[in-house]
Amino acid sequence: MSFAPTSISAETGGAAEPATKKSKPGASSYFPSVPDKIQYKGAESTDPLSFRYYNADEVIMGKPMKEWLRFSVCFWHTFRGKGSDPFGFPTQIRHWDDETDSIENAKSRANAAFELFTKLGVEYYTFHDRDVSPERSTLKETNAAMDEIAAHLKSLQDATGVKLLWATQNLFSHPRYMNGAFTNPDAHVFAYGAAQVKKLMDVNHVLGGENLVFWGGREGYFSILNTDMRRDLDHLAALFKMAIRYKEEKGHTYQFLIEPKPREPAKHQYDYDAATAMAFLSIMAYLNEHFKLNIEPNHTTLAGHDFEHDIILSSQYGMLGSVDSNTGDPLVGWDTDQFPMDYKKATLAMGAIVDQGGIAPGGLNFDCKVRRESTDDVDLFIGHIGAMDCFAKGLRNAAKIREEAVLPGMVKERYSSYDEGFGKKIEDGTISLEECEAFVIENGEPKQISGKQELYEMVLNRYM
């Protein structure tokens, strides 16, 4: 979602906005210059509309690549983003979008989206409720519009075989949510957000969504002076408990996911990072039994961690549910949502996914937008192809690393003092402070052992 102006008018002193192109009635293709299906052509290919590393049905460590990767395209950046940023107007004109809030235009966007999905060969997509369906003047009217669009999406899913990875509710764009939804001090706003969640849960179920995401962009604060953090967090937990009850009452089977982010648009967001979110779920009775995390690496780096940090941490605690596979620019201070193109980072991320046996029912969702300066329709394909290849290469690398077991063996050896004897008792929780003291008195000063960071980095580079 953009916080920049969405048009240029005479009132601003700018030039008139170019006339928006519209899709031609009965047009056979929204992307006529793109092949019907992007093909795998191997590592030597220089065709930007081909895969170099992603070969969907190739078996890696006992599974087809498509099952390890479970790629998904997000609707919001790909079909609602137009290149605006906090400092500038939209730059991208899409011929299938007449910029109105009509049902017809919403369907046109969806039609274009499913052509892109099928040509890329991805099996999943994701959306916010307000990405795919317009908001009306009343909740009843908005829900009616959502029902009509959901029926259209269902028909497109049935026709193409593309499935819904997850849906989420937009509780950050409308002015009513300026102080948050479930951490809003006004109970009326809380109720509106809860009603929006209820509707989205029903739609997600009808469309066969395999997960449902909660991202609280405004669930936080701008000033501690007007904030009661404990009440905010209690109210947020209350909403999650309502959602759990409703899901169970209706027999819905999708996985709940929380997506951490430290800030933006709020100054401080309560689900700051993976560790914070997991602690919150553990503190608030039984929530950790019903939720996992949807990790977005660009959010992770905004929290001051490496790209792979939250993926690995949440995976090691059994809490990694899905990944919004993007990256950021370390020299830009906001969430830039770029396509991931770093093989090394993808290798580390895929290593965690391989170690936990896969990411299902989650996936690798490209929460990415082409750059403001990338204005051709085909750039949408190039960005996704490059990112899909990046994670496919990461999967190949991670598999080879585990098959050869050099790096894992080095890590295991580094922690070997905990595998038996005194160290094993520490891990088992059967040792006391007194026994630790006695051990040191008997054994004296520990030996200095090199961490060998440079060697680890050298070994990792062999696989790139």
What pLDDT score was predicted for residue 198? 98
Q: Is the distance from CB of 4 to CB of 88 less than 8 angstroms?
A: yes
CA pair distance 7, 20, nearest whole angstrom: 11
Question: Which CA distances in Å does 226 have to 51, 145, 172, 184, 220?
Answer: 52, 37, 19, 11, 12
Mean pLDDT of the 319-329 span: 97
Average pLDDT, the chain: 94
Three-class DSSP category at 63: strand
What pLDDT score was predicted for residue 28? 65
What pTM was computed for the model? 0.94
Does position 421 have pLDDT exceeding 50, yes or no?
yes
Does position 13 have pLDDT exceeding 60, yes or no?
no
What pLDDT score was predicted for residue 14? 35
Half-sphere exposure in the Cβ direction for 282 (13 Å, CA): 9
Residue 192: both structure tokens together: 């509106």
Mean pLDDT of the 30-56 span: 98
Does position 285 have pLDDT exceeding 80, yes or no?
yes
Residues marked as catalytic: 128, 131
CA nearest to 391, candidates 345, 435, 454, 442 = 345
Mean pLDDT of the 61-71 span: 98
Residue tagged 């604060």 (tokens) = 221
Does position 354 have pLDDT exceeding 80, yes or no?
yes
Mean pLDDT of the 320-341 span: 95
Return phi, psi of residue 426, to 5°. Answer: -60, -50
What pLDDT score was predicted for residue 86? 86
What pLDDT score was predicted for residue 239? 98
What is the DSSP pairing of strand 320-324 with strand 364-366? parallel
Q: Is the distance from CB of 67 to CB of 59 less than 8 angstroms?
A: no
Q: Find the DSSP H helices in 84-186.
A: 103-120, 129-132, 139-160
Q: Is the distance from CB of 47 to CB of 41 less than 8 angstroms?
A: yes
Lowest-pLDDT choice from 85-89, 177-181, 270-274, 400-404: 85-89
